[in-house]
């Protein structure tokens, strides 16, 4: 969509059209909502001032990129947002050349911009990387690592800080607001440049010192001092919904030809009054009635996250040394309930997975029992800390891994495929998984008794209901759920047990079913016994095949020199899993029970 020649009135009308399109589609299909509505004017201004085909547009996390998609020839296709074989809910270069980079995790954007700026300089290309980053992403250390270098090398990068919760800094009264407007003006920027280049350099040493102190004193009563001290110029705060002001400010930032942060104050959900403000439930939504804001909920079983939260509340009530942490996902992981009930023992440390892991390692050393509640995909961000700060000392930290397996519409950046593979080979780590709600309760109780690091994984949404009764966990002990006279055995791990059960019901043979329970340590004794009775083993687990459950079993069979067993893995193949409805994704991967039973036959 060409907007370079549109006047202000036409651009404001376009902003309204974009909001209406987002509200219409997301209310029917679901998707990210409040954050993307709040970024409409900022995105339109980016496209007005910069050239998306020349200047890299880098969206942090990129859940706010819907206006960008609508402005880059995807207006009609927007109907398919987050649907199987449709548009991704995040930026994706395979989808459009206007999407510079794949994004889905936070706080990577400024590092990408630094790399892009270096590359553009080496290639002698006249372009400026443009970043849009939310205030929440500014809580991660990677942002400051990038800013530290950017302030040193001084390459031109424009960073739009989309501040919709006032979590960075609150302007100090009317003086700060007035000074911020001055700092954003062309007169101040030109005057400052002239003073730097012409006047201060010619002043006597004492006068130079005084002039610099006056300028620094002005910065002290503005929110941008942290950025200025790192060598990055700061403009703002500005009204991120005042299109004229945003465009004018971005023009100034562009002309400065050096790193600059434009601090824009915005409102989440802007343009849809029901969602405006700091209401977390409007961040990512399912279908809803746009006239009332009432969600179209389907009746469903209790989610594993809720079961976990209730079990942990019970454990924390019984044991005062139980503590916990999450990294910016209190409601998503269910720990918000514990933060309300035990505010001195459970914390949200913001988008700081590395800090979350290491801080809990110290608490474990001090005699507490920490539970780190985190999505599988986000635990990847704290991997070195798991090794260096938890496993080497064998500290009894519990990793409660939510969203294990396929998570659906968020796609490849969020699928919980790799946690077994990347945790299994760590010394001192214990890995186990429940198969249903009852065994999840048992798993939480058991984790409290362990004196080593452990990880429990459970899926997004609800477990399937199984007919087998729960029993307490024993370290390294699997459970035979069903014997048979067949030479086949289905071995399930975690939610894979229910897939094994469903597949077995579709088969005319009576097939044995085993709940592996532990992938580390394996139940060596039971597996050796199974090899004496069953020759065909089929492994069911919602995880990556490489380094996964079948791999662990094959390693054991090799060690025991067992040659009569054929192992078939129904785990994920060696590729990233696309977005879409979970059932459609599983069907595409040939993982539905009706498809698996044909493979077994």
Architecture of domain 479-600 in CATH?
Answer: 3-Layer(aba) Sandwich (3.40)
Structural domain spans, the chain: 8-170+223-284, 304-457, 479-600
The single residue of 19, 69, 381, 488 carrying the catalytic annotation is 381
Residues 123, 117: Cα–Cα separation, whole Å: 10
Active site residue 381: yes
Active site residue 460: no
Query: Using alpha carbons only, what angle is made at residue 372 by residues 367 and 378, rounded to the nearest 5 degrees?
Result: 150
**pTM for this structure?**
0.88
Q: Do domains 8-170+223-284 and 479-600 have the same CATH topology?
A: yes
Beta-bridge mates of residue 323: 370
Q: Which one, of 33, 9, 10, lies nearest residue 21 by Cα?
A: 33
Active site residue 353: yes
Paired tokens of 50:
């910069």
Contact by Cβ (8 Å): 15, 44: yes
Q: Which CATH superfamily is domain 8-170+223-284 in?
A: Thiamin diphosphate (ThDP)-binding fold, Pyr/PP domains (3.40.50.970)
Largest CA distance in the chain: 97
* The domain defined by 304-457 carries CATH number 3.40.50.970: yes
Q: What is the pLDDT of residue 139?
A: 84
Phi, psi of 379 (to 5 degrees): -65, -25
Q: Are strands 294-295 and 288-289 parallel, antiparallel or unpaired?
A: antiparallel
- Kindly list the averaged pLDDT for each block of 10 residues, start to end, along the chain of length 601: 92 97 95 93 97 96 95 96 94 95 93 96 96 89 94 96 64 44 54 54 56 54 75 91 96 96 92 82 88 82 95 98 95 95 95 96 98 97 97 98 95 95 97 97 98 97 92 96 96 97 95 98 98 97 97 97 96 95 94 95 90
The single residue of 353, 442, 571, 586 carrying the catalytic annotation is 353
Residue 358 CB partners (closer than 8 Å, separation 6+): 385, 389
User: Concatenated DSSP letters for 3-27?
Assistant: -TT--HHHHHHHHHHHHHHHHHHHH
Q: What is the pLDDT of residue 176?
A: 42
pLDDT tens across 214-255, in order? Answer: 555 545 445 677 888 889 999 988 999 999 999 999 999 999
Q: What is the pLDDT of residue 212?
A: 58
Percent of the chain with pLDDT over 70: 90
Contact by Cβ (8 Å): 323, 338: no
Residues 169, 79: Cα–Cα separation, whole Å: 37
pLDDT tens across 123-164, in order? Answer: 999 999 999 998 888 888 899 999 999 999 999 999 999 988
Q: What is the pLDDT of residue 278?
A: 61
The single residue of 19, 92, 268, 545 carrying the catalytic annotation is 268
Contact by Cβ (8 Å): 477, 322: no
User: Concatenated DSSP letters for 69-87?
Assistant: HHHTT-TTGGGGTTSTTS-
User: Concatenated DSSP letters for 500-526?
Assistant: HHHHHHTSSS--EEEE--EEES--HHH
Is the four-CA dihedral 245, 247, 250, 252 of positive or negative sign? Answer: negative
Q: Is 493 helix (H, G, I), strand (E, B) or coil?
A: coil
Residues 523, 513: Cα–Cα separation, whole Å: 15
Residue 578 CB partners (closer than 8 Å, separation 6+): 84, 85, 411, 412, 585, 588
Q: What is the pLDDT of residue 205?
A: 56
Residues 553, 567: Cα–Cα separation, whole Å: 8
Residue 309: CB atoms within 10 A of its CB come to 21
């Amino acid at each position: 969509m060409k907007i370079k020649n549109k006047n202000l009135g036409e651009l404001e009308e376009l902003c309204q059209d974009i909001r209406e399109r987002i509200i219409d589609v997301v209310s029917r299909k679901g998707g990210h909502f409040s954050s993307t509505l709040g970024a409409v004017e900022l995105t339109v201004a980016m496209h007005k001032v910069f050239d998306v085909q020349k200047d890299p547009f880098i969206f942090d996390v990129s859940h706010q990129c819907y206006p960008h998609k609508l402005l880059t020839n995807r207006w009609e296709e927007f109907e398919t947002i987050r649907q199987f074989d449709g548009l991704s809910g995040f930026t994706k270069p395979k989808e459009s050349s206007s999407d510079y980079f794949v994004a889905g995790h936070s706080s990577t954007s400024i590092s990408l911009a630094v790399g892009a700026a270096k590359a553009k300089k080496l290639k002698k290309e006249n372009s400026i990387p443009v970043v849009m980053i939310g205030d929440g992403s500014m809580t991660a250390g990677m942002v400051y690592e990038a800013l530290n270098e950017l302030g040193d090398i001084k390459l031109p990068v424009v960073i739009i800080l989309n501040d919709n919760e006032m979590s960075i800094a609150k302007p100090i009264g009317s003086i700060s607001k007035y000074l911020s407007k001055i700092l954003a003006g062309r007169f101040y920027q030109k005057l400052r440049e002239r003073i730097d280049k012409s006047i201060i350099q010619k002043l006597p040493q004492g006068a130079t010192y005084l002039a610099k102190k006056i300028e620094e004193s002005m910065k002290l009563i503005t929110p941008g001092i942290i950025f200025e001290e790192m060598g990055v110029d700061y403009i703002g705060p500005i009204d991120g919904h005042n299109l004229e002001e945003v465009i004018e400010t971005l023009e100034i930032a562009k002309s400065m030809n050096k790193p600059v942060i434009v601090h824009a104050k915005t409102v989440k959900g802007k343009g849809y009054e029901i969602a405006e403000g700091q209401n977390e439930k409007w961040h990512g939504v399912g279908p809803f009635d746009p006239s009332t804001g009432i969600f179209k909920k389907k009746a469903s079983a209790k989610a594993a996250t809720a079961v976990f939260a209730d079990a942990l509340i019970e454990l924390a009530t019984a044991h005062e040394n139980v503590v916990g942490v999450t990294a910016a996902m209190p409601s998503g992981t269910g720990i918000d309930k514990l933060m309300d009930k035990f505010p001195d023992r459970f914390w949200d440390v913001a988008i700081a997975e590395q800090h979350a892991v290491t801080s809990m390692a110290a608490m474990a050393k001090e005699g507490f029992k920490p539970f780190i509640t985190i999505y599988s995909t986000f635990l990847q961000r704290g991997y070195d800390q798991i090794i260096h700060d938890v496993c080497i000392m064998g500290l009894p930290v519990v990793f409660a891994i939510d969203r294990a397996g396929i998570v659906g519409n968020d796609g490849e950046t969020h699928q919980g495929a790799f946690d077994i593979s990347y945790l299994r080979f760590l010394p001192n780590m214990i890995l186990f998984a429940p198969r249903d709600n009852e065994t999840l309760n048992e798993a939480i109780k058991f984790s409290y008794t362990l004196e080593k690091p452990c990880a429990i994984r459970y899926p997004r949404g609800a477990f399937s209901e199984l007919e087998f009764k729960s029993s307490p966990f024993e370290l390294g002990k699997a459970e035979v759920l069903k014997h048979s006279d067949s030479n086949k055995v289905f071995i399930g791990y975690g939610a894979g047990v229910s897939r094994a059960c469903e597949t077995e019901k579709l088969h005319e043979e009576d097939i044995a079913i085993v709940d592996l329970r532990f992938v580390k340590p394996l139940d060596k004794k039971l597996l050796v016994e199974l090899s004496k009775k069953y020759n065909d083993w089929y492994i069911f687990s919602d995880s990556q095949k490489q380094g996964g459950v079948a791999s662990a079993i094959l390693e054991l069979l090799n060690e025991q020199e067992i040659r009569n067993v054929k192992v078939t893995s129904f785990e994920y193949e060696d590729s990233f899993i696309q977005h879409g409805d979970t059932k459609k994704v599983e069907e595409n991967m040939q993982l539905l029970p009706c498809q698996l039973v044909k493979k077994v036959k």
